[in-house]
Amino acid sequence: MAEGFELNSFLDELKSASRGASPTAEVRQILDRVFADPSAVASGMPAYEQDDKILFEDDAVSIWFCRFRPGDPVPPHDHQISVSIGVYEGVEKNSMYRADANGGIEVSSVHELGPGDVFSIGPTGIHSVICGSEAPSLAIHVYLGNLSEVERNLFDPRTGERMRFSDEDVERLKPYQQEIEARA
Ligand SMILES: [Fe+2]
């Protein structure tokens, strides 16, 4: 019989892994196991109104529900802490970037994460995210630190110019990211 998915025990398990000896590996193991049955996650998750919902956050771990709607990207950014992403509905398209020869950034790989996929990014990894399905993508993102308080970087997708991450600049840069995604 399937194990099922219960949000509070999942959160407790992640909290205790984040305080363990090798948090990155332990969190990844939990996500690999739990997201092997994405429909159990989908039936166990509440239907949130908001697109980003902090399920738990302290200095060791931030656990976020993330919904991406078609055509509404997040421009390139890093986190300064590691993150693992588990998708349970739709497709969350992650583009990874590296420095280019002109002081800018260029896409190094693209990962279309569907239900059951788990993807990890290190503290200095740079990604942009957009919905890759007709219906919104639904995922849980687990960051090993306090995402709301960490100082991290956002990049202008046209020039690679680096700035401190802020919601205002995310909104300002979104149209340029939309243009780039529309051409891809
Ligand atoms: Fe991110």
Per-residue pLDDT tens over the stretch 81-118: 999 999 999 999 999 999 888 889 999 999 999 999 99
pLDDT digits (tens, 9 = 90+) for 43-66: 999 999 999 999 999 999 999 999
How far does residue 39's CA lie from ligand 1's centre (Å)?
24
How far does residue 5's CA lie from ligand 1's centre (Å)?
25
pLDDT digits (tens, 9 = 90+) for 25-43: 999 999 999 999 999 999 9
Residue 101: its pLDDT value, please?
A: 86
Rounded to whole angstroms, the Cα distance separating 140 from 5 reads 13
CB 143 within 8 A of CB 82: yes
How far does residue 9's CA lie from ligand 1's centre (Å)?
25
Cα-based distances in Å from 164 to 41, 141, 152, 170, 171: 34, 21, 6, 10, 14
Q: 77 falls in which pLDDT band (50, 70, 90)?
A: very high
**What domains, with CATH codes, occur in the chain?**
7-183 (2.60.120.10)
CB 141 within 8 A of CB 64: yes
As a whole number, the mean pLDDT across the chain is 96
How far does residue 176's CA lie from ligand 1's centre (Å)?
17
How far does residue 74's CA lie from ligand 1's centre (Å)?
8
- The residues facing 97 across adjacent strands are 107, 126
* Ramachandran region, residue 140 (left: φ > 0; alpha: ψ -120 to 50; beta: rest): beta
pLDDT at 184 > cutoff 50: yes
- The residues facing 164 across adjacent strands are 153
How far does residue 2's CA lie from ligand 1's centre (Å)?
31
How far does residue 1's CA lie from ligand 1's centre (Å)?
35
Residue 156: its pLDDT value, please?
A: 96
Residue 108: its pLDDT value, please?
A: 97
